[in-house]
Amino acid sequence: MSKDLYVIAEQRDGEIAKVTMELLGEATKLAAELDEKVIGVLMGDKIKDKAQEMIEAGADKVVVVEDPMLAEYVTEPYTKALTKLIKEYDPNIVLFGATAIGRDLAPRVAARIHTGLTADCTHLDIDMEKYFEFLKATSTADTESIEKRLGMDDKTLKMTRPAFGGNVMATIRCADHRPQMATVRPGVMKKIDPQPGKKGEVEELKVEFGPEDMNVKIKEVVRDTKKAVDITEAKVLVSGGRGIGSADYYKELQKVADLLGGEISSSRANVDAGWIEKSRQVGQTGKTVRPELYMACGISGAIQHIAGMESSECVIAINKNDTAAIFDVADLGIVGDVKVIIPKLIEALEKYKAENN
């Protein structure tokens, strides 16, 4: 019988990716609903010593697959190792990060074990009651009929992801096959506080590899020395929308971000217009963020954008349209022209810093 939730760790050079810790945190909540355990899966070469890090992040047990063939991520060896693990352990749920590696590995494994896969999820749930309470509060949709179609009384995993360019949120179930598999967007789930010294089981799985399993030849590994900005790590985000008027105005938003110790980000419209790079886009088709402070400057508040920042601890919105949807999720709303308010804000912040330094 299929049992337990398995989180597939992603690691590079022995460092476990942040999305893995987020998935372990989410898995602990789902496991509590199912009365099952959280199992971490760690694959690589000489990687066993990182198992304790996963245990302290929420795993009850870690299965380690070590082999020189797994030193660098290559599709075929990793697919073979994970396929064997799933066939031997028979998990109920398997979660991957929706990263370059996860999006490559998960569908290949799903095909080999003949199960379904929901990609790029932004919400996972066993009991959808709380989710539908949210829908009823924000929508006039016929949630009662949706509840019946989803099977609210069962214990299958409900996997929600954006569809049709983010215009529809689709909730998908894998009722007839196991394991239930999903890739989850980084930044969506919340890590739990580490539990130093937590005890957990570490088990090794041996996978026999042959020359035929390495179907590519790695000639050289080139590390990118340029440090890319990751807006999902920022504690403060100053985000610009179409209302800022031009790409040049990001220079003013950058001044605010610098004074607050944060980063600039953007709505999709400005990325599509070429005003700012894609890596700074917030929303369903961009990144999901949860900073301590999110400033939405000239952003109308389309549902696709809100889905990417609604978990922020504090939201300040500036928009000259007093009926803009962004005010519905803002803790503080300022009705006015961004180009009038931002200079005053910069002046006030500079004065405050001068007086307190």
Which of the two residues, 9 and 148, has the higher pLDDT score? 9
For 101-115, write each residue's pLDDT tens digit. Answer: 999 999 999 999 999
pLDDT value at 42 more than 90: yes
Tokens for 97, please give them.
């990060």
Q: What is the mean pLDDT of the chain?
A: 85
Assign domain 5-213 one CATH number from 1.10.287.70, 3.40.30.10, 3.10.20.580, 3.40.50.620.
3.40.50.620
Compute the average pLDDT of residues 155-181.
82
Helix (H, G, I), strand (E, B) or coil at 97: strand
The pLDDT value given to residue 147: 52
Q: Which of 41-55, 108-122, 156-170 has the lowest mean pLDDT?
A: 156-170
The number of beta carbons lying within 10 Å of the beta carbon of residue 175 is 10
Q: What whole-number percentage of the chain has pLDDT above 90?
A: 43
How does DSSP classify residue 232? Answer: G
- Average the pLDDT over 252-276 and give the result: 92
pLDDT tens per residue across span 280-334: 999 877 888 889 999 999 998 888 888 888 888 999 999 999 899 899 899 999 9
**Taking the CB of residue 220, how many other CB atoms lie within 10 A of it?**
4
| Residue 63: predicted pLDDT | 92
Give the mean pLDDT of 124-138: 61
Q: Are 22 and 189 in contact (CB under 8 A)?
A: yes
Q: How far apart are CA 118 and CA 168, in angstroms?
A: 15
What is the pLDDT, as a whole number, of residue 221?
A: 77
pLDDT at residue number 127:
66
Which pLDDT belongs to residue 113?
93
Q: What is the pLDDT of residue 189?
A: 84
CB of 171 closer than 8 Å to CB of 84: no
259 — pLDDT class (breaks 50, 70, 90): very high
Q: Do domains 5-213 and 231-356 have the same CATH topology?
A: yes
Q: What per-residue confidence (pLDDT) applies to 226?
A: 57
DSSP-derived letter for residue 17 is P
Per CATH, the homologous superfamily of domain 231-356 is TPP-binding domain (3.40.50.1220)
pLDDT at residue 146 in the model: 53
Per the omega criterion (within 30 degrees of 0), is the bond before 211 cis?
no
Question: Tell me, what's the pLDDT at 102?
Answer: 92
Lowest-confidence region among 39-43, 176-180, 185-189 = 185-189
Q: Please give the average per-residue pLDDT across 208-225, as a whole number.
A: 78
Domain boundaries, the chain: 5-213, 231-356
133 — pLDDT class (breaks 50, 70, 90): low
pLDDT attached to residue 357: 73
Q: Give the strands of the sheet with 168-172, arranged side by side.
A: 123-125, 158-163, 168-172
pLDDT at position 169: 77
Averaged pLDDT for residues 195-224? 83
Residue 1 pLDDT greater than 80, yes or no: no
In the predicted structure, residue 50 carries a pLDDT above the cut 80: yes
What distance in Å separates the CA atoms of residue 48 and residue 42, rounded to the nearest whole number?
Answer: 8
**CA 182/CA 270 separation, integer angstroms:** 30
Residues in the chain: 357
Q: How confident is the model at residue 228 (pLDDT cuts 50, 70, 90)?
A: low
Hey, what are 139's tokens? 């929508």
Q: Is the pLDDT score of 71 beyond 90? A: no
β partners of residue 96: 183
Task: Tell me what the mean pLDDT of segment 62-85 comes to.
Answer: 90
